[in-house]
Amino acid sequence: MLNLNERIGKIKTAGARLRPESPQLKDYFLDLKLYLESLGIETLIGEDCARMIGLSGVDDYALFSRSDFLISIGGDGTLIALARNSFKYEKPILGVNMGTLGFLTDVQSSEIKSAIDRILKHDYAIDKRMIIQINAEINGKKQVLHAINDLVVRHQKMKMIHIDLIIDGTLANTYYGDALIVATPTGATGYNLSAGGPIVYPYAKNFIFTPICPHSLNQRSLVLPTSFDVELRVKEKEGVMIIDGQYMSPFSQNDRVSISMSDSFVKMIRRPERNFFSAIRAKLNWGEINSR
């Protein structure tokens, strides 16, 4: 969902998270903090990131509730983790790319100060990305989880696994293979794409089901509107579900997992001129012709 009119309001405080296990980002963060404070913006940093670089920080509640917007410094994985932990606070996130591909992070490391200036001048857009809500009953205990990119179901011991896909109470398919990816449109250009799944417009409201190395060659990706009730079941005792490649939970034959679109969204700050199709052309080399 595109929103060219939503604005942050008066910015008094910014919150930052850094890529884990990257103490080399200390100087970059300190320079950014100094710049923000020269503009009258208090800068907070999460306590885990602060420990990594030898500073004092605040807990997640303080970071997310006190900040007017959040800054993710790292790569797409850093941004996804921050989004999954903070989306309930509805704070927009500015992604700074310190890595290579940076499909979701809109700003390169050298552009951060000009990006801050543009935000203060209201020269930006806020995108709303859908979230998968996972209602799970694991070992008799209910829990609610969320995925920004994808949910992957596989066998704990990397064996083949049977996965039933039930749509509106009807068995639609049984996948038998290495794993099944359930991706959001945001996650379509991640693991889903690597596994041969389709690219989906990131502001759409769809679930994308892509099997990994299915036993039957007629198994293909399925794109489904989020209006359907979807349930997943496995037939093995040692299944596992992995959320955004960062969180793992057991998922066995007696467990129940249903997925739906969350009522909440992830808010991402981007430059107004950034176009999704231009981005995938640049990042994925669409239209490139080998002249040799």
Catalytic residue numbers?
76
Of 217, 189, 216, 102, the closest CA to residue 208 belongs to 189
Assigned token pair, 178: 């290495």
For the beta carbon of residue 152, count every other beta carbon within 10 angstroms: 23
Task: Check: CB of residue 40 under 8 Å from CB of residue 50.
Answer: no
d(CA 114, CA 124): 12
152: Cβ contacts below 8 Å, ≥ 6 apart? 179, 180, 181, 182, 191, 241, 242, 245
Distance of alpha carbon 238 from alpha carbon 203, whole angstroms: 35
Instruction: Report the sign of the C-alpha dihedral through residues 221, 253, 247, 260, in that order.
Output: positive
Q: Which helix (H) or strand (E) holds 35?
A: helix 26-38
Query: Which residues are within 8 A (CB) of 106 and not within 5 positions of it... i.e. 6 or more apart?
Result: 94, 95, 97, 115, 268, 269, 270, 271, 274
